[in-house]
Structure formats: structure tokens, C-alpha cells
Amino acid sequence: MDLILRYLIFLSWVVIGPSGPMLWSVAVTTVGLFGAFTLRRSFQGRTIVLLAILGMMFTESLLFVLASSYVDSLRRTSTHFATASWNHLSILHTVNVGVALIGGFAAICTVLFITFRKSRLEMSRLFPRLELLEDAPVQIKETVKRIAGLAGVASPNVCLVDSGVPSAFTVRANRRFTVALSVGLLESLDDKETEACIAHEISHLKNRDFTVRLLATLCKVALFVKPLSYFIEPAIYRAREFLADRTAAELIGGPDALISALSKLKASDSLAATSPEGPMCVCNLSGGKSLLRILDRHPDIGTRIEMLREMKQT
């Protein structure tokens, strides 16, 4: 029995990372993950479940700091396990306290850096490698304002990026949200398709994705030794992209224009040539290209198009 217990604890460390030796947490995590990925088209529900798993893992880590007598209390109330097993758990407890403190400190530093440093910089300082044009066309500004009104959010700033690479992203700069569109995007898409891309970016604001994704990233930072968090965080990002697509389609009266825009972007050879490097909450229109798609924060464009086509059929 003792040997089985140790193997189960070791397995939970490998899969979930340093955590409590309580098998219920492993079971809840497993059921939660299964539930999250069976919610195939409920992206809001998937986000809630995945955030709940990260929250449980984070809370469990805090318990080791707040309840330093955790292992001793378990030992006093149990008669099943041998002394060797409890000594093993005591070592795990000590390690857990250390990594929880380090992770918590790193998360605090991260949120302070983003809130009081990155999010307060101007666009030119946030993205020094990008050449930003002074003013966007009046038609684009009016489109942004109109869609923001439909979404019920404050109208963000608008700027153009002097790049032939078709791209769009939303970022919080100088304490305000800014939608950035590349010249290449405007040249590649017609008015309806451009409107769909703008609606996608504003949908991130409507769905409060900056807050949701920041929470996911901070949990990953705090749980830096837990491998599972490195898979859950990008899964949340991908779910928010799908949700933004769906919300955008609802704002503009259907998914056709967004499907057309994404199809053109998918066909573009230069789509992934460059991607702006900035704060964690950047919303980039392009999809991921890495071999390990499970670690991509942005879903494949083909998958996004498929989801929108399914939405059209329902």
C-alpha cells in the first residue's frame, strides 16, 4: 500500500507538478480537463473550467504556505501509512512551500510590471520595431466607433502599422486600448472583411479577454513548476480567440465576412513573417505555426474557419 501511494504521488508530480499528496485533487483535475475538452463549442464554459483548474492548483499551493502543519495533522489522524511514507510527504511539503512562495512572488512582480510599466507605455515605446503611422483613415475610425457602440464598450484608439504583412492586434497602451491594423491588411481585404477583423478585435474588449488571459498567465507564472499549467494557459487563449470570432460574427450580422477575411489571410504567404512583441495581452489575428500546436496561444486559422462555418449552419 505504501509503495502504491508513493507511485501515485510521484505520478501526480509528473503530470500536475508539485502539489498536495491528496488524490482527490488529481481526480478533480482529470475530470475537469475531460469536461473542458468535451465542451467543444462552448468556449466560455471551457474557459471557466480551465480557470477553475488553475485556481484549484494555485489555492492548493497557497495551503502549504498558510497551513504549515498540514502534513503533521494528516499524520496524526491516519493509521494507514508507514513512517517512511510520511517522511516522503514531509519532504514534498517542504518543497511545495518553497515553490509556492517563489511562484507567488513572481506573479506579483509580473502583474506590477504589466500594470505600472507595460500598459502605461505609448505604442511607439511598446513596439519600437514597428513603424506606426500618425493617423488612420476616417472610414476606419468610424467603423471602429460604430462596432464599439454595438459591442457596448468604449471606443478604442486606432493606429496603422506601416507593414505589408496583413495583421491586426489590440493592445493596452498609455492606459487606453488601441486597435492596430497593418497597411497590408487594408490592402488585402475589402471593406466588409476589414470590418470583420475590427469586430474580432473589439470582441476581445467586449469579452474582457485582457483580464481573463492575464489571470491565466499569472496563474501559469505562479505555478511555474507545474507542467500542466503550461498546457492550460494556451488552451484558455485559444478558447478566447474562438469566442472573439463568434462574438464578431454576431456583431456584424453573420460569419461570412470573417470567413472570407480569414481565408485570404490563410492564403497569404507572408502572414507569419513578423509578429509584434509586446505585453502579454496582445491580441494577434494570425494563427500559430509551431509544431506543438497544443502550446500555441492562437488556434490554427483553418480551425477558426471551420468553427465559423459550423456557426453559419446552426
Q: Are 139 and 262 within one domain? A: yes
CB atoms within 10 A of CB 266: 15
Instruction: Check residue 127 and give left, alpha or beta (phi > 0: left; psi -120 to 50: alpha).
Output: beta
Among candidate residues 129, 143, 125, the one with its CA nearest the CA of residue 179: 143
Who contacts 179 (Cβ-Cβ below 8 Å, separation ≥6)?
144, 156, 157, 158, 159, 168, 169, 170, 198, 201, 202
What does the mean pLDDT of the chain come to? 79
**Degrees to nearest 5, angle at CA 71 with 66 and 75:** 145
Tell me which residue range forms the domain holding 195.
Answer: 122-313
pLDDT digits (tens, 9 = 90+) for 41-59: 789 999 999 998 888 888 8
Query: Which position has the higher pLDDT, 24 or 112?
Result: 112
pLDDT digits (tens, 9 = 90+) for 95-145: 667 777 888 889 889 888 888 888 888 888 888 888 888 788 999 999 999
Number of domains in the chain: 2
pLDDT at 40 over 50: yes
Q: Are 81 and 212 within one domain? A: no
Q: Are 146 and 224 within one domain? A: yes
Q: Are 138 and 111 within one domain? A: no
Question: How would residue 89 be classed by pLDDT, with cut points 50, 70 and 90?
Answer: low
What confidence score (pLDDT) does residue 204 get? 95
Question: How would residue 297 be classed by pLDDT, with cut points 50, 70 and 90?
Answer: confident
Decide which of 118, 134, 153 is a domain's last residue.
118
Q: Which of 193, 201, 233, 241 is catalytic?
A: 201
What confidence score (pLDDT) does residue 241 get? 93
Q: Are 276 and 307 within one domain? A: yes
What confidence score (pLDDT) does residue 274 get? 44
Q: Supply the angle between the helices 301-313 and 229-252 in degrees, to the nearest 10.
A: 50
pTM: 0.82
pLDDT at 289 over 80: no
Q: Are 134 and 150 within one domain? A: yes
Q: Are 83 and 142 within one domain? A: no
Q: How far apart are the first and last CA of the chain?
A: 53
Decide which of 85, 118, 151 is a domain's last residue.
118
Q: How far is residue 307's CA from residue 299's CA, in Å, rounded to a whole number?
A: 11
What confidence score (pLDDT) does residue 38 get? 77
- Segment holding 140, helix H or strand E: helix 138-151
- Confirm whether 122 is a catalytic residue: no
Query: Which position has the higher pLDDT, 206 or 77?
Result: 206
Q: CATH number of the domain at 260, please.
A: 3.30.2010.10
pLDDT digits (tens, 9 = 90+) for 145-193: 999 999 999 999 999 999 888 889 999 888 899 999 999 999 999 999 9
Query: Which position has the higher pLDDT, 196 or 10?
Result: 196
What confidence score (pLDDT) does residue 179 get? 93
Contact predicate 27/65, CB 8 Å: no
pLDDT at 282 over 60: no
What confidence score (pLDDT) does residue 57 get? 81
Question: How would residue 249 be classed by pLDDT, with cut points 50, 70 and 90?
Answer: very high
Q: Are 16 and 87 within one domain? A: yes
Q: Are 45 and 65 within one domain? A: yes
What confidence score (pLDDT) does residue 61 get? 73
- At 302 the three-state DSSP class reads helix
What confidence score (pLDDT) does residue 259 get? 95
Q: Supply the angle between the helices 83-116 and 2-16 in degrees, to the nearest 10.
A: 10
